[in-house]
Chains A and B, each alone.
Chain A
């Protein structure tokens, strides 16, 4: 599988717990990144369109405060893709930690 773009990963991440409407995705990422990451609406909409085409997410109608609002939900395939990507990131982080930790004590470095 090809690595997902950062924006794509963030959208899948935001939807991993529960379905959200478009702006809800922006708010969630903004909140958990302490305001560091603010997805722009055009960027988000492009990602949502692509993910729908790939059937990784779907639009569902949710009844909320007596008015209908469409929310985006991960499909089973979307959930799988997200989990794979999450594991990949975790592995990258673990490898990074190992290398950074061993930087001074590793005596085999010169042989490589």
Chain B
């Protein structure tokens, strides 16, 4: 079977857009099956078409059993809580992994709390930069680096809050 890979950067808050892209690719005959370091791997089969969905949730044995029985094939899990699923377009019909906006909002809220926790850990671990500050180029470089990451996280938080508000409007 012919395969191909594509490089694409996806930020956390864009998982719905990512799923739509994978579904579009599948409609063209290229089916996503693996993700590694920014690369999406596809295999070609013009006879099939899948609907792709990504979930963010703490999983368990019951979790995967439920999705499998509901017709979703588990493809991959990233960072422990991002789960990629797919289902055949013809058998799944209009069904998706979420059936009401309130639960989509909860998903983005879980994601927000997850990144806030990481963010706090990072700030605590980098407090040394301030404590050992002596104004040398190395401290300055470290401070700039950390500041850039802080800005990136704040950007992510704003985007996630926006996704939550977008889902809330549909409730």
Taking beta carbons and an 8 Å cutoff, which residues of A are in contact with B?
5-7, 21-23, 26, 38-49, 59, 70
Contact = CB atoms under 8 A, between A and B. Distances in A.
Contacts of A42: 55, 57, 97-98, 103, 107
A23 B66 contact: yes
Contact of A7 (B57, B58, B61, B100): B100
Given A7-B102, A47-B103, A41 B57 contact: no
B70 A26 contact: yes
B2 to A, nearest CB: 32
A45 B106 contact: no
A108 B99 CA distance: 43
Nearest to B98: A42
B62 A43 contact: no
A41 B55 CA distance: 10
Contacts of B61: 70
A45 B64 CA distance: 10
B51 to A, nearest CB: 12
A43 B103 contact: yes
A43 B107 CA distance: 9
Interface of B: 55, 57-58, 61-63, 65-67, 69-70, 72, 95-100, 102-103, 106-107
A46 B106 contact: yes
Contacts of A49: 58
A49 B58 CA distance: 10
Contact of A40 (B58, B62, B69, B70): B70
B99 A38 contact: yes
A42 B67 CA distance: 8
A57 B86 CA distance: 29
A40 B97 contact: yes
Contacts of A45: 57, 62-63, 66
A23 B106 contact: no
20 contacts: A6-B100, A7-B102, A21-B65, A22-B62, A22-B69, A26-B70, A38-B99, A40-B96, A40-B99, A41-B67, A41-B97, A42-B97, A42-B107, A43-B97, A43-B98, A43-B100, A45-B57, A46-B103, A46-B107, A59-B62
A41 B73 CA distance: 12
A99 B63 CA distance: 44
A23 B98 contact: no
A22 B95 contact: no
Contacts of B66: 22-23, 41, 44-45
Nearest to A39: B99
